[in-house]
Amino acid sequence: MTDRKGKILKGGVYLTVIKAFQQFISFSVNAVLAIILSPEIFGIVALVTVFNGFISVFTNFGFGSSVIQSKKVNNLQLSSLFWLDLSTSVLTFAIVFLIAPIAAEIYKQPEVTPLLRLISFNFLLVSFFSLNRKILEKELEFSYLANTDLLASIISSIAGIALALFGFKAYSLIWQYIIMNIAYLYLIRRKNNWFADFRFKWGSIKDLVLFAFKYKGALTINFFERNIDFLIIGKLFTPYIVGLYSFAYNIMYMPVKRISNAFSDVLFPSFSSVNDDLIKLKSYFLRAINTTAIITFPLTVLIYFNIDFLVDFIFGQKWSGAIYLIKILCFAGALLSLDFSLSLLPSINKTEFSIYSGICRIVLTVAAVLIGSLFGIYGVAYGILIVKILSTILNFFIIKYYINIGFRNIWSSLSGPLLSAIIISFICFSINLTNYKNNSISVFFIIFEVIIAIFVVIIVNKQEALFFYNNIIKARTHNS
């Protein structure tokens, strides 16, 4: 079990580091695309991707999640799950393709129809490698998956920029998603080339499907919680405003989307492997929120104090309307990064409680967006921030109840990252008081702040830095 724990923790930290680097690449690519494309295009694509996801939550169930939770799965069960998953993917593709004009009519944007039909091909692509990926996750092949994510991101990013330069506009962003999944299809099957037999037996997968439905319920709630605001503001505001909000949301989501989600990818199979050992569950959970906060809290501070210059310098004046939105939402992103309930609760077969809490968060989000919209898009952003604060408190209460983690333990795990963020805030605030205007000086000070932030994080979180060195840097150097 010690080897398994070491593999889990090393995999989690390594995957987080790779995801952080991947996010840096993604940020750079988005900067280039934001220079080439207009906010209106980003707004329309945001509507397309959210509506596409909205349909998929009701039709595509992702039965591979049950492979991870189950202790042992045979080939007949895997084959049956594959054919069932493929069937639902084809159904989802057909539904999205047919109702695309309805979505265009709802949002009064004719461009939505062809874009939505194009992005729906992703459902077919994903069905041919999703089960293979779950098998790799179950085998704790996190390093390979991290490298796969990075390479797929690089390939699709290059393709997206090239298409944007050649004038494909919104289509360049849609093709970026498709090319990423084509890369996944090749890279994942290169490592795990399992193919389904031409067999299907419902009785062999009945229990697995039941779990998948529960888990999908939790994922559905999570999707609505994180995207219901787009569904509403897409109707209330213009594509330009939606584009600004989408841009700000992606910056806010930067510390979450690939960094904390990296640990989520590790934690569900990891929690499932020790779901009968409460002490280990506590240990993994506290390690997860600590490692995530060490990255996301200082990153949030750096974004807050430097986003004015970065947006104008990198993205241009056309995106300046997103600056204040980013400043509000970056704190919501930091709080969102601590939500591991979707990994923890299903692993101990308490998926339904993740659903219940998610429903509460959706109700709060809808209320926040509707009330906030009365005060414009900034009102919506403040409403989302308030909801994330309440959601974080709710999640910690739920986790405390089920695995008996005290708030003192949670505070102990977060105190180091919080102290780091406070010190970095003071440094950034002091530097900003100089009110410098020169671009070269501004870039120098940002680099200086990043370097100082790294040193502060290492000094304040000595034990975690030592763990990182011993388990990742030293171990990989030894292995090579």
Question: How would you write 175-222 as a 3-class SS string?
Answer: HHHHHHHHHHHHHHHHHCCCCCCCCCCHHHHHHHHHHHHHHHHHHHHH
- Other CB atoms within a 10 A radius of the CB of residue 251 amount to 24
Per-residue pLDDT, 334: 87
Write down the pTM of the prediction.
Answer: 0.75
DSSP-based three-state secondary structure for 262? helix
Distinct helix (H) and strand (E) counts, the chain? 21, 0
Per-residue pLDDT, 65: 67
Do 256 and 296 contact (CB within 8 A), yes or no? yes
Do 239 and 44 contact (CB within 8 A), yes or no? yes
Amino acid identity, position 13: V
Q: Does an H or E element contain 125, and which?
A: helix 121-127
Closest CA to 200 of 78, 90, 91: 78
Distance separating alpha carbons of residues 430 and 422, to the nearest angstrom: 12
* Helices 75-107 and 130-138, packing angle to 10 deg: 130
Domain locations along the chain: 37-219
Question: How would you write 298-323 as a 3-class SS string?
Answer: HHHHHHHHHHHHHHHHHHCHHHHHHH
∠ CA 223-226-228, nearest 5°, is 85
The DSSP symbol for 51 reads H
What is the separation of C-alpha 259 from the centre of its chain, rounded to a whole number of angstroms? 7
Query: 100-108 contacts: CB < 8 A, separation 24 or more?
Result: 103/47, 103/48, 103/51, 106/235, 107/47, 107/234, 107/235
At 236, list the tokens: 């209330």
pLDDT by position in tens, the chain (length 480): 445 555 555 555 566 667 667 777 877 888 899 889 999 999 999 899 988 888 777 665 666 667 766 767 888 988 998 998 899 889 989 999 999 999 999 888 999 999 999 999 999 999 999 889 988 888 878 778 888 988 999 999 999 999 999 999 999 999 999 999 999 999 999 999 899 898 888 888 887 777 777 767 767 777 787 788 888 998 899 999 999 998 888 777 655 655 655 555 555 455 555 555 667 777 777 877 888 888 889 989 999 999 999 888 888 888 999 999 999 998 988 888 887 665 666 556 666 666 777 788 889 999 999 999 999 999 999 999 999 999 888 888 877 777 777 788 888 889 999 999 999 999 999 988 876 667 788 888 899 999 999 999 999 988 877 766 665 555 444 444
Do 57 and 227 contact (CB within 8 A), yes or no? no
Per-residue pLDDT, 269: 53
- Other CB atoms within a 10 A radius of the CB of residue 466 amount to 11
Per-residue pLDDT, 69: 65
* DSSP assignment of 70-98: SS---HHHHHHHHHHHHHHHHHHHHHHHH
Do 171 and 40 contact (CB within 8 A), yes or no? no
Residues 6+ positions from 415 with CB-CB distance below 8 Å: none
The DSSP symbol for 374 reads T
Output phi, psi for 404, to 5 deg: 60, 45
Distance separating alpha carbons of residues 387 and 156, to the nearest angstrom: 33
Start-end of H helices in 311-376: 323-336, 341-347, 351-373
